[in-house]
Every structure is written in structure tokens, then in C-alpha cells.
Amino acid sequence: HRKVSMAAIVLYPVMGMGHLISMVELSKLILTHHPLFTVNILLPTAPYATGSTAQYISAVSTTNPSIIFHHLPPVSLPQDPASYPCVEALLFDLTRLNNPNVHTAIQSISQTSTVHALILDFFCAAALHVAAELYVPAYFFFTSSASGLALFFHFPTIDRSTNKNFKDLETTVNLPCLPPIPLSHMPEPILEKDTAEYAGFIDCSVGLSKSTGIIVNTFNSLEPKAVKDLADGVCYPDGPTPPVFCIGPLIATNHQIGNESDDKVLESECLTWLDKQPSQSVVFLCFGSLGLLSKAQLREIAIGLERSGQRFLWVVRNPPPEDKRQRFLTQPDPDLNSLLPDGFLDRTKERGLVVKRWAPQVAVLNHEAVGGFVTHCGWNSVLESICAGVPMVAWPLYAEQKLNKALLVEELKLALAMNESKTGFVSATEVEKRVKELMESEEGNSLRERVTAKRNEAMKAMGKGGSSRVALAKLVEQWK
Ligand code: UDP
């Protein structure tokens, strides 16, 4: 027998830059508390070109030598990637097919180290089997809210309560910790029952209870009710709710999406422009890494912004591609002149900046000139806005964002709701009204005060003796 000496943690993100960044940030956090661990990140090979992560990975490896990346060999998918109805369906297949690769990778890491934990993305629940086979404790890293986690714990019970598709139901989910959520506001892939992605979400939700613990990127005082319900185990009647560790807010500061020099240029363009604007005068509009709006919707936003008279920094992307095969690929830069109303850029050039595709969001939100954020309510964006003390207008687009909106607008009162039509369209009048309300009204000021208070609570949670620090210490203690 070889002498096993090193202590290792293995993290398994699902494919996709956002998930990878979250896992890397968690790795860094673990290492600050446990510098002697080696942290191994398993990287599934994307089945097609989804924009390269190579540059990001090499930057992380250089600055953090204790983080080791393991590229899993490619798998062959049962169908053409373009024929998957949604990205989640593809992720579930990819994860299932990667199980033998995950097994081999953990075995090989075990040659030189004791693997104390396998930390899975929510979408990687299929790998629970591998952890069980190898006697490695499995944890989840849930990268959305504790309220979202409570809802997924509750999902198998909701599923049993009706034979109908959620999209056809008027009823609401009533969990003690959440404002009532219409079932039709559940994430899109679970709106219809008889699909592979619906079954995949059920498996992942049931999988949560089979783990040793769940790490959540939130802090106790942001979602006290959800944290309590999870601790009391009331969301999942079928079995135990494992201990939940709220270790956030964890915020990635440097994303490097493409070419590093392009990022630098972008960063300086946005920040130099903001330097010239008065304090808290600019509204920032950005819709996550995947939010795409139709040309008609982009024009409506432009008209609303122009009429509002507010200063703005707006990240614009191309509308969703018509060719479904293009969906998962990195999109080219938009042609702003053809997408936006005639003369818009010229007429607003004194008080607005439109950037193509991507802005350094964390730096932008933390700039003194930014006073409001129109967001798609992705959880990272929400935390980043709170940590920067910036109030929001909530405009959810996909995934669990409608739930995040309910939490922000109804429960926490940190955001105004952007009202949309039944088809999800937002008028120029609504954009104008909401942006003005955020930036100029009493209500906007109250939101700003509440967000500032939450920012202070977040800093306290992460500081010495704070709840998130204590939770992390407890977690890491389990791996000794
Ligand atoms: N982001 C950014 N610039 C952009 C768009 C997004 O820096 O132009 C970052 C943002 O700061 C956040 C992440 O990408 O950290 C998006 O994560 P979120 O959970 O908000 O939404 P998702 O993209 O997962 O829907």
C-alpha cells in the first residue's frame, strides 16, 4: 500500500462558464481556510464550441497553484446537441454519461490523496452514485438562493400533488418561507411534466436529500425564514434535509470572458465613462450571461430610456438566433445601429453608454456613479447588487429568476417589479416609469436605504465571527 498523505477536495461543476466561476470562487474560499488542501476541479468536455474556458482556467491555475483542473474525456451524446429542447436537458445527459469518467478521475486522485468530499453542482446529482461507490461524502454547492433551495426540496411534493402541467395551473406554491409563487413561474424546463428535463429536475431535487451537506451562496440574515425552514426540515417530508451551510455572499471579481486584452479595454471604456458621471446618477442595465431580448424589446427599452431622461449604461446583445443550432454558441457582437431606433445613440450620447455583449459588472455596480440596476435577477447579479448597495428593478428572464424576483420585490423590498404583458413584453412606458421611480422617487430612496442595510449585514456575515464565516469553518471541520 502506498502511503496516502494529502487531503483533497473534488469539485464537479456542470458545463458552463457561470457554474465554473462559482466553483472556482468556492475553491479559493476553502483554500483560504485550509491552505494545505488540494482542490481538484473536474471539467467535463463541452460537446461543441461554447466559448473557450481555456484562458480563464490558465489564469486561475497560475494564480492559485493549489487548484488542479482535470479535463474529463469527451462523451458522445445520444442526440445532436442542437436537438435538445433546452440546455438543462443536455446537461443532464452530459452528466449521466460522464459518471464513468468522474469515477476514474476520483480514483486517480485517490492514489495520492485522501478525498474528503465531492462537491457537486445541483445539475450533477447523477454523480451521487459515484460518490457512494467510492465511499466519498457528497455535498452540493447550490449557487442560487436558500429560498430556491427550499423550493427544490419541495418540488417532489408539488409534483405529486397534481397531474397537470404547471404551465396550465393558476395555483400558487405556498411555502412558509416564500411569498406565494404561481406554479407557472417555476423554471421553464419544469413547466411540462412528460419531458426528460422534468425528470432530471426531480432526480436532482430528490438527490439533494441524499447528500452529506449543502453549501449555499447566501447569508442567514438575507433569507432567515428559508434558512430556518431548511434547518427544521419542513420542505422535504420524504426524508432528512442535510445540514445547510450558508457561506455567502461569494462574489467573483474578475471574469475574463474572452481575450484578456479585450476585457481590459471594455473595463476601461465603461469605468472611464462612469468617472465622468455624477454620483449615483446612472442606471445600469444588464441581463446576465444568457439574457437575450428580441429586437422589438430592445427598441422599446431604448425609447423608454430616452424618454426617462436618466443617465444609463446598457449592455446590449444580439436577439436570440433563429437557427436553433446556434443557441448554445457564443454570439457575435451586435450591430447597434441596426438594432436600436434611428439616431438613438447620437441623441443620447451625452448621457448614455451602450456597450456590446459584456460589461465588467462587479466593477460597474461598485462605481460611485451607479445608482440603480435593471437586472434579470440571476442570483449572482442579485448578490453583487446587494454588496454594492445598489437598488434594483427586477426583470426576470429565465431559470429560477421569477422566484428571485418575488423574493426581492415582495419579501426583501430591495427591488421594484418591471411589469410585463402576458407574453413577457415590457413597454417603453413601463421602462421609462420604472427607471424614473428607481432613480428619482421616495420609494427608490427607501429601496436604496434597505439595500445599504443589507450590504452591511452581508459584510458582517463574511467578517470575523459572522454567520457565513462560522458556517464555512463548520463545513471545513467535517473534512479533517
Ligand atoms: N456578468 C458580467 N457582465 C455582463 C453580464 C454578466 O460581468 O455583461 C457577470 C455578472 O457579474 C454575474 C454573472 O456574469 O457574476 C451572471 O450570473 P447571474 O447568476 O447573475 O446570471 P446567469 O448568467 O447565471 O443567468
Report the separation in Å between the CA atom of 288 and the middle of ligand 1, taken as the mean of its atom positions. 4
The C-alpha cell at 60 is: 486561475
Report the separation in Å between the CA atom of 381 and the middle of ligand 1, taken as the mean of its atom positions. 6
pTM for the model stands at: 0.95
Instruction: Give the integer Cα–Cα distance in Å for 317 and 292.
Output: 6
Closest CA to 68 of 9, 14, 122: 9
Nearest CA owner, ligand 1 atom 16: 288
What was the pLDDT predicted at 83?
Answer: 85
Helices (H), 249-377: 260-275, 295-308, 336-339, 344-347, 361-365
Mutate to test the pocket of ligand 1, among 381, 397, 405 (most ligand atoms within 8 A of CB): 381
* Residue 63 vs residues 13, 97, 360: alpha-carbon distances, Å: 20, 32, 20
User: By three-state DSSP, how is residue 307 classified?
Assistant: helix
Ranges in the chain, pLDDT < 50: 258-259
Which phi and psi (to 5°) does residue 125 adopt? -55, -25
- Give the contacts of 354 (CB within 8 A, at least 6 positions apart): 314, 315, 316, 336, 340, 345
Which phi and psi (to 5°) does residue 324 adopt? -60, -30
* Count of CB atoms situated within 10 Å of the CB of 77: 15
Atom of ligand 1 nearest to the CA of 384: 11
Assess contact for 60 and 24: CB atoms under 8 A: yes
Report the separation in Å between the CA atom of 197 and the middle of ligand 1, taken as the mean of its atom positions. 24
The C-alpha cell at 209 is: 436529500
Closest CA to 207 of 245, 175, 238, 174: 238
What was the pLDDT predicted at 80?
Answer: 84
Report the separation in Å between the CA atom of 380 and the middle of ligand 1, taken as the mean of its atom positions. 6
Which phi and psi (to 5°) does residue 307 adopt? -65, -30
Atom of ligand 1 nearest to the CA of 359: 8
User: For residue 249, is the peptide bond before it cis, meaning its omega torsion is within 30 degrees of 0?
Assistant: yes
Instruction: Give the integer Cα–Cα distance in Å for 383 and 377.
Output: 9
* Count of CB atoms situated within 10 Å of the CB of 256: 18
> What is the Cα Rg of the chain in Å?
22
Nearest CA owner, ligand 1 atom 5: 288
Which residues does ligand 1 sit against, CB inside 6 Å?
18, 252, 255, 286, 288-290, 315, 358-362, 378-381, 384
Q: Which neighbouring-strand residues pair with 417? A: 394
Report the separation in Å between the CA atom of 7 and the middle of ligand 1, taken as the mean of its atom positions. 32
The C-alpha cell at 104 is: 476514474
Assess contact for 180 and 402: CB atoms under 8 A: no
Q: Which neighbouring-strand residues pair with 372? A: 283
Helices (H), 136-259: 146-161, 196-208, 224-232
pLDDT digits (tens, 9 = 90+) for 170-224: 899 988 888 899 999 999 999 999 999 999 999 999 999 999 999 999 999 999 9
Angle value at C-alpha 48, between 47 and 50, nearest 5 degrees: 115
Report the separation in Å between the CA atom of 356 and the middle of ligand 1, taken as the mean of its atom positions. 14
